[in-house]
Amino acid sequence: MDEDAVFKALADPTRRHLLDALFARDGQTLTELETDVEMTRFGISKHLRLLEEAGLVTVVRSGRKKLHYLNPVPIRLIHDRWIDKFTEQQITALADLKKDLES
């Protein structure tokens, strides 16, 4: 996984909006995804291509349709690497505090 590509893909509000749309309803076509965004079909295609290159979106052809699906794995890997390690001590301290207060 290329973390730089994932961060770059997540940095743009239009791409985050597309990911949110796929989270709400997976397996959408380009036509369905472009209804919510004030941008040309070509512009949306470029954003989807970047999301696909970052591994955040997978594409499956179904007949003449091209369906886009959210792949949350790269986001989870970033979470595990960059967020979990910083919050582990705080969560452990809160769990220990709860245990101490209850005893």
Q: Look at residue 87 in the predicted model and tell me its pLDDT.
A: 80
Q: What pLDDT, on the 0 to 100 scale, is given for residue 92?
A: 83
Prediction pTM value? 0.80
Per residue in 19-33, pLDDT tens? 999 999 999 999 999
The tokens for 72 are 């949350």
Which pair of structure tokens corresponds to residue 66? 């091209």
Q: Can you give the pLDDT at residue 1?
A: 73
Say whether pLDDT at 86 is over 80.
no
Q: What's the pLDDT score for residue 79? A: 86
Q: What is the 3-state secondary structure (H, E, C) of 9-75?
A: HHCCHHHHHHHHHHHHCCCECHHHHHCCCCCCHHHHHHHHHHHHHCCCEEEEEECCEEEEEECCHHH
Q: How confident is the model at residue 65 (pLDDT cuts 50, 70, 90)?
A: very high
Mean pLDDT of 60-78: 94
Q: What is the mean pLDDT of the chain?
A: 92
pLDDT band of 51, cuts 50, 70, 90: very high
